[in-house]
Amino acid sequence: MVLSVVGVSHVFPGAVGDLSVLGDIDLEVRSGEFVAIVGPSGCGKTTLLNLMSGLDHPSVGSVELRGAPPVAGMPDLGYLFARDALLPWRTVLGNAELALELRGVGRAERRDAAARLLGQVGLAGFEDRYPAQLSQGMRQRVAIARTLVAHPSVLFLDEPFSALDAHTKLLLQETFSELWGGLGSTVVLITHDLGEAVAMADRVVLMTRRPGRIKRVVTVDIPRPRSPMALQDDAEYHRVFDQLWEELRQEVVESAEGILPAGSVEREGSPLWAQH
Amino acid sequence: MGAALSAPAATRAASRSRRPRSRSLGRRGLQVRAIQLGLLLVLFGGWQLSTELGWLSPAFTSAPSRFIPSFWHGLTNGTLLPLTATTLFETFVGFAIAAVLGVAAGIVLAEFPLIDDATRPFMTGFNTLPRIALAPLFVLWFGLGSLSRIVLVVSLGFFIVAINTYAGVRSVDRDTLLLARVLGAGRWRRFRTFVLPAAVPAIFAGLQLDLTYAFIGAVVGEMLSGSQGLGGYLAVQMGSFDIDAFFGGLLLLVIVALIVSWLVRLAESWLLRWRVAELHGTARR
Ligand SMILES: Nc1ncnc2c1ncn2[C@@H]1O[C@H](COP(=O)(O)OP(=O)(O)O)[C@@H](O)[C@H]1O
Ligand SMILES: [Mg+2]
């Protein structure tokens, strides 16, 4: 096991009362595995990822990464978030080489590596642009290059494609899947998008509404290499999607109760939250 | 001259964003120059005409036909240039000292909350003192020479730079700090690579204001402390009711200020190249 989460609960203390966010999570991730964690908005997905990646520490229970508590910033961990966090004063190349620069890799070597990776994410020729001159999708491609350039062995992705429009999202999922195929790193992907989870992961973990617990774990038997774009006709993809969809829908509806007018979310099979 | 130098960096950067990037004078550049020349002619022409028609009295407001020759005479007979050199010396030395001290103080205060909290009442207190009103005190302490003016200039500029630097360092994006953390940046790395560059635009805006106040401080200090520099010249001319020479001196002041602000703008457009891209209408965030 690369990562193990044992009996983790998490509480955010607050002035008006404590907020219990995660309830008794047990989860193991094998080396080289791609695990997606899906759940309704606000159920504690980001909190769980932060605990798994050392950005925060659980109130109860323990998280171990190769036998020791994870520490954020460890060199073989990679992170990718919904917001690209590109440094606006650095060029595309300057952003992509950041991780290697911080590690003290020589200028020529890190520029080579960054340029190669930028080529792989489809940004050859854009090395000298500034982030403000790029589209949202291109910016996120730079962020992918920035994350992968240091060859992290464990990748933590928090809704990395959710700020993108539907087409760009598919293209980036495709690019990421391709690159990941050649890396062999372990991936934990947080998403609210069930289609994305099923298309990309080996295992999908479904969480309940807050306080998030694990409701169901399903293995996805679609052979690799996969192309998220070509899965629309795949029987296994639809089988897993449909199996999880009804359960996710229930959680979403119930967590929305009291927010939306009665009955407005009860239309059976409504693809309100599916991007499928 | 205040307006020419003190337009905040952001405003100017924004107005430049609507302008084509090229340095050479394009069609647009020529239009701008033509309009500027027109405005100058309207200003000086209107002034002259009002004087000719007897609406303005040259004893109080001089007139272009009087102060331009006086200005030219002062330049060519060698009286004005050494005065300008004195004023610029005080301006730049005071500016530089205030810049170094102000940036350092702003960074320390922003990065060390304990020092920030402990020194806050002192910073606020000293910043509230009307420094210009202290000019006579500085003369008493540091004499009639340039030193008293440099101290005045530093006392004006220091807080401006410190406050802008502080705000810049504090305004760093949370995403940027998160990135520094996940990339494993240590304290110094985090500051050098993530925090300081993010603060550069604010620091630069502070430096530009510092320069404006340095110039004003030097001139006012000279006016209050005697006969040196452009300020001293202005005071002497006013004392002898030579209004034409006084306005001639003002004209020189304005020209010097414009040249300095143009140099600052060149430096800015180089230092903040990435901002030009950002403000150029292609930003999609
Ligand atoms: N630092 C924090 N302090 C207090 N409450 C928080 C904090 N971070 C998240 N929360 C709360 O915890 C809940 C779960 O948040 P999060 O893990 O971000 O959910 P998700 O990523 O599944 O949308 C939300 O109700 C959120 O408001
Ligand atoms: Mg989240």
pLDDT tens, position by position, A137-181: 999 999 999 999 999 999 999 999 999 999 999 999 999 999 998
* Percent of chain B surpassing pLDDT 90: 71
Tell me the CA–centroid distance for residue A79 and ligand 2, in Å.
14
* Cβ atoms of A123 and A142 closer than 8 Å: yes
Average pLDDT over residues B24-34: 85
Q: Which is the closest atom of ligand 1 to the Cα of A40?
A: 22
CB contact under 8 A, A89 and B284: no
Q: Report whether pLDDT(B285) > 50.
A: no
Q: Which has the higher per-residue pLDDT, B8 or B258?
A: B258
pLDDT confidence of residue A69: 96
Count the alpha carbons within 13 Å of B265 in the hemisphere toward its beta carbon. 19
Q: Which has the higher per-residue pLDDT, A196 or B9?
A: A196
pLDDT confidence of residue A56: 96
Question: In chain A, which residues have their Cβ closer than 8 Å to the Cβ of B183?
Answer: 73, 98-99, 102
Q: What is the pLDDT of residues B99-123, one digit of tens each?
A: 999 999 999 999 999 999 999 999 9
> What is the Cα A189 distance to its own chain's centre?
3
Q: In sequence order, which residues have a C-beta less than 8 Å from that of residue B263 and are 6 or more positions away?
A: none
pLDDT confidence of residue A261: 62
Q: What is the pLDDT of residues A18-54, one digit of tens each?
A: 999 999 999 999 999 999 999 999 999 999 999 999 9
pLDDT confidence of residue B1: 37
Residue B7: pLDDT band by 50, 70, 90 thresholds?
Answer: very low
Question: In chain A, which residues have their Cβ closer than 8 Å to the Cβ of B21?
Answer: none
pLDDT confidence of residue B46: 96
What's the mean per-residue pLDDT of chain A?
Answer: 91
Residue B75: pLDDT band by 50, 70, 90 thresholds?
Answer: very high
Q: In sequence order, which residues have a C-beta less than 8 Å from that of residue A271 and are 6 or more positions away?
A: none
| Protein residues with CB under 6 Å of any ligand 1 atom | A 12, 19, 21, 39, 41-47, 210
Q: What is the pLDDT of residues A108-118, one digit of tens each?
A: 999 999 999 99
Residue B266: pLDDT band by 50, 70, 90 thresholds?
Answer: confident
- Of A203, A212, A244, A252, nearest to A51 by C-alpha is A212
Of A102, A130, A135, the CB nearest to B184: A102
- Of B136, B119, B102, nearest to B213 by C-alpha is B102
pLDDT confidence of residue B270: 80
Task: Report pTM.
Answer: 0.84
- Return the DSSP state at B8: -
Average pLDDT over residues B14-30: 59
Q: Report whether pLDDT(B280) > 90.
A: no
Q: Report whether pLDDT(A135) > 90.
A: yes
Kindly report the length of chain A: 276
Average pLDDT over residues B146-160: 95
Q: In sequence order, which residues have a C-beta less than 8 Å from that of residue B137 and are 6 or more positions away?
A: none
For chain B, give every domain's residue range.
Answer: 1-56, 66-282
Q: In sequence order, which residues have a C-beta less than 8 Å from that of residue B232 and are 6 or more positions away?
A: B83, B222, B223, B225, B226
Q: Which has the higher per-residue pLDDT, B284 or B97?
A: B97
What's the mean per-residue pLDDT of chain B?
Answer: 87
DSSP secondary structure, chain A, as one string: --EEEEEEEEEE--SS--EEEEEEEEEEE-TT-EEEEE--TTSSHHHHHHHHTTSS--SEEEEEETTB---TT-TTEEEEESS----TTS-HHHHHTHHHHHTT--HHHHHHHHHHHHHHTT-TT-TT--GGGS-HHHHHHHHHHHHHTT--SEEEEESTTTTS-HHHHHHHHHHHHHHHHTT--EEEEEES-HHHHHHH-SEEEEE-SSSB-EEEEEE----SS--GGGGGG-HHHHHHHHHHHHHHHHHHHHHHBTTBPTTTT--TT-TTS---
> CA–CA separation, B276 vs B229, rounded Å?
37
User: Tokens in use for B273?
Assistant: 């190249």
Nearest residue in A to B175, CA atom: A85
Q: Report whether pLDDT(B69) > 80.
A: yes
- Of A108, A178, A105, A117, nearest to A146 by C-alpha is A117
Chain A residues with at least one Cβ partner in B under 8 Å? 53, 55, 72-75, 77, 79, 81, 83, 85, 87-90, 98-99, 101-102, 129-130, 132-136
Return the CATH number of the domain spanning residue range B66-282: 1.10.3720.10
- The residues with which A20 forms a beta bridge, in sequence order, are A11
- Of B231, B111, B129, nearest to B177 by C-alpha is B111
- 3-state secondary structure at position B172: coil
* Percent of chain B surpassing pLDDT 70: 88
pLDDT confidence of residue B281: 53
Q: Report whether pLDDT(B11) > 60.
A: no
Mutation for testing the A interface, residue in B21, B172, B175, B183 having most A CBs under 10 Å:
B183
- 3-state secondary structure at position B228: coil
- Give Dmax over CA atoms of chain B in angstroms: 74
Q: What is the pLDDT of residues B231-255, one digit of tens each?
A: 999 999 998 999 999 999 999 999 9
Q: Report whether pLDDT(B133) > 90.
A: no
Q: Report whether pLDDT(A276) > 50.
A: no
- 3-state secondary structure at position B17: helix
Please count the other Cβ atoms lying within 10 Å of the Cβ belonging to residue A258. 7
Starting from the edge strand earliest in sequence, which strands make up the sheet with A203-207, in order? Answer: A77-81, A154-158, A186-191, A34-38, A203-207, A214-219
Residue A264: pLDDT band by 50, 70, 90 thresholds?
Answer: low
Region of poorest pLDDT, from A131-135, B222-226, B275-279: B275-279
Burial grade of A39 (CB within 10 A; 0-12, 13-18, 19 or more): buried
Q: What is the pLDDT of residues B192-208, one digit of tens each?
A: 999 999 999 999 999 99
ipTM confidence: 0.90
